[in-house]
Amino acid sequence: MLELFRNPKNVGEIPDADGVGTVGNPVCGDMMTIYIKVKDDKIVDIKFKTFGCGAAIATSSMTTELAKGKTLDEAMKITRGEVADELGGLPPIKMHCSNLAADALHEAIKDYRRKRGEKIEESG
Amino acid sequence: MDYASGSPVDERVLEEMMPYLSKYFGNPSSLHSYGFKALDAIKNARMRVGSLIGAQPEEIVFTSGATEANNLALIGTAARYKNRGSRIVISNIEHISVLNVCKELSRQGFEIKYAPVDNEGILNLDILKELIDDKTVLVSVMSANGEIGTIQPIKKVAEIAHDRKALFHTDATVAVGKIPLDVNEIGIDLMTLSSNDIYGPKGVGALYIRKGLRLKPLIIGGGQEGGIRSGTENVPGIVGMGKAAELAKVEMNGEAERLTRLRDRLIKGILDSVPESYLNGHPIHRLPNNANIRFSYIEGESLLLSLDELGVYLSSGSACAAKTLEPSHVLLAIGLKHEEAHGSLVFTLGKYNTEEQIDYVIKQMPGVVKRLRDMSPLTPKELM
């Protein structure tokens, strides 16, 4: 996990992103934005920006890596637990960081679908 | 640069402690030579600790640390003097061991009032004055704050408390050995001291109790420490604290001067080289070894981890609160927004820090901050 914090992948913005999802709040100490580029229903590019602790940055990196190349439906299924598992587990106090990253990804996908006029199941 | 949460034991202290871990193993209560040896050692330590703060030896009660001393000061006074009244007034930036004890006392029916501090962390004496009424038993205000380093005007606080016949306790854990404190000159009734903060061992502290005051003990047993704190004494620890106090008394002034110079070099160096970095706390009424700096748009823990990689060890808040995700109550009390509090770093310098180390940190800081800011979604606009 420290390695991902040191050298996170996919940091940055996509200026002409097809979908953008922001979750969290700087007041709570964690906030992240995920940008996606979609082609043929697949995530072809993905970037993130994160204000937060080391775990938040590492989980952002891991989430974007997991989502890259996946179809939107597959990416919607990336769960909070999966992100944490990929990182080899997180201490309980840091679990919300992985929640945040998965949530930001899902928000970005919803944003893309909303822009295309698709109906979105609003869940949790 | 995180001496506040744990300092190394001075070698001279360790040397003096060692025999009490091996050949002088006697119990100070025993009536034989081994016991007398231990009893003498404690007497000597009591004298040395007293001497550091201008107190008589018999006014020093050894405890397991500053937390226990704070517990004893607050609970022991509240319980013993509750016939005088039920109000306790403290500052809103006290250490967690004072705050949480007060929460407990409030559950027991005591009325706790919190006096606020200004943007630089200095207690508002006018409001303090209003909060202390005739029913106030105790006023507790720290000598200095460990997170933001602000030194409180405790002499004035003591006068205000005594005008209303209230007792005055000060948690001097982080101030003792850094700035001169004399219990008689200031007018202190109870003072909390810690060993580790003056390069003594962990697990030892002391409470100064002005002669004539009698607190209700928290730990009851064989009547050690004048009946105020039972339990066989931690002889090596107490010996260590005594030696540490003796060294602090001799070396404090020179060391304070050196640390102040390093501190100011660090503060100026960072504020000059990192845009949108700010000093938390008071620029002058500040502990010689404390710098607390906040960096906009980034979060403290990721800063800590980045600096750790470079061999710089810091804290983003009090070591005790590091287990929770809550921002520091001290930083909120001086009026910072949550996101500003999250982006603050505490530097506590100590006797083994050098100018080279300070310059190294100053050199690394801009790059570390820039990397995290480039990663951050926050912009100046969003924080307006």
Looking at the structure, do residues B61 and B200 belong to the same domain, yes or no?
yes
Estimate the crossing angle of helix B300-309 against helix B355-375, to 10 degrees. 130
What pLDDT score was predicted for residue A124? 43
Architecture category of domain A2-115 in CATH = Alpha-Beta Complex (3.90)
Cβ contacts of residue B255 below 8 Å, gap of 6+? B288, B351
| DSSP secondary structure letters along B346-382 | EEE--TT--HHHHHHHHHHHHHHHHHHHHH----TTT
**3-class secondary structure, B168:** strand
Strand-by-strand arrangement of the A30-39 sheet: A19-25, A30-39, A42-51
The stretches in chain A having pLDDT less than 70 are: 1, 93, 98, 119-124
Task: Confirm whether A97 is a catalytic residue.
Answer: yes
User: What do you get for the CA distance between the two ends of chain A, in Å?
Assistant: 27
Cβ contacts of residue B374 below 8 Å, gap of 6+? A11
Give Rg (Cα) of chain B.
Answer: 21
Give yes or no for a contact between B170 and B142, defined as CB atoms under 8 angstroms apart.
yes
Looking at the structure, do residues B187 and B273 belong to the same domain, yes or no?
no
CB neighbours of residue A22 within 10 Å: 17
Looking at the structure, do residues B97 and B209 belong to the same domain, yes or no?
yes
What pLDDT score was predicted for residue B384? 43
What pLDDT score was predicted for residue B382? 52
Average pLDDT for chain A: 85
Looking at the structure, do residues B66 and B165 belong to the same domain, yes or no?
yes
Cβ contacts of residue A118 below 8 Å, gap of 6+? none
What pLDDT score was predicted for residue A28? 72
Q: Tell me how many domains chain B contains.
A: 2
Task: Confirm whether A28 is a catalytic residue.
Answer: yes
Residue B383 lies in a domain: no
Chain B residues touching residue A32 (CB < 8 angstroms): 377
Q: Does the distance separating the beta carbons of B377 and A22 come in below 8 Å?
A: yes
Residue B371 lies in a domain: yes
Chain B residues touching residue A93 (CB < 8 angstroms): 323-325
Looking at the structure, do residues B179 and B286 belong to the same domain, yes or no?
no
Looking at the structure, do residues B153 and B280 belong to the same domain, yes or no?
no
The boundaries of the domain holding residue B286 are 252-375
**DSSP code, position A9:** S
Cβ contacts of residue B19 below 8 Å, gap of 6+? none
Looking at the structure, do residues B32 and B108 belong to the same domain, yes or no?
yes
Looking at the structure, do residues B70 and B46 belong to the same domain, yes or no?
yes
Looking at the structure, do residues B161 and B286 belong to the same domain, yes or no?
no
Tokens (6 digits) for A69:
């190349």
Chain A residues touching residue B337 (CB < 8 angstroms): 27
Residue B6 lies in a domain: no
Looking at the structure, do residues B67 and B204 belong to the same domain, yes or no?
yes
Closest to A43 measured CA to CA, from A69, A61, A23: A69
Residue B3 lies in a domain: no
Looking at the structure, do residues B57 and B151 belong to the same domain, yes or no?
yes
User: What is the β-pairing status of strands B290-295 and B277-280?
Assistant: antiparallel
Digit-coded pLDDT (tens) for A85-104: 777 777 776 777 767 888 99
CATH number at residue B329: 3.90.1150.10
Closest to B23 measured CA to CA, from B198, B239, B243, B244: B239
Residue B380 lies in a domain: no
- Measured in angstroms, the CA of A98 and the nearest CA of chain B are apart by 15
Answer whether 0.90 is exceeded by the pTM: no
Residue B107 lies in a domain: yes
pLDDT in tens, chain B (384 residues): 888 767 899 999 999 999 999 888 878 888 888 888 888 999 999 999 999 999 999 999 999 999 999 999 999 999 999 999 999 999 999 999 999 999 999 999 999 999 999 999 999 999 999 999 999 999 999 999 999 999 999 999 999 999 999 999 999 999 999 999 999 999 999 999 999 999 999 999 999 999 999 999 999 999 999 999 999 899 999 999 999 999 999 999 999 999 999 999 999 999 999 999 999 999 999 999 999 999 988 888 888 888 888 888 877 764 444 455 678 899 999 999 888 888 889 999 999 999 999 999 999 999 999 999 988 888 765 544
Give yes or no for a contact between B311 and B359, defined as CB atoms under 8 angstroms apart.
no
Length reported for chain A: 124
What pLDDT score was predicted for residue B28? 83
- Measured in angstroms, the CA of B293 and the nearest CA of chain A are apart by 17
The ipTM assigned to this model is 0.77
The residue of B375, B383, B384 whose CB has the most chain A CBs within 10 angstroms, and thus the best one to mutate to test that interface, is: B375
What pLDDT score was predicted for residue B325? 62
What pLDDT score was predicted for residue B78? 96
Residue B22 lies in a domain: yes
What pLDDT score was predicted for residue B7? 86
Tokens (6 digits) for B135:
């029913």
Looking at the structure, do residues B57 and B85 belong to the same domain, yes or no?
yes
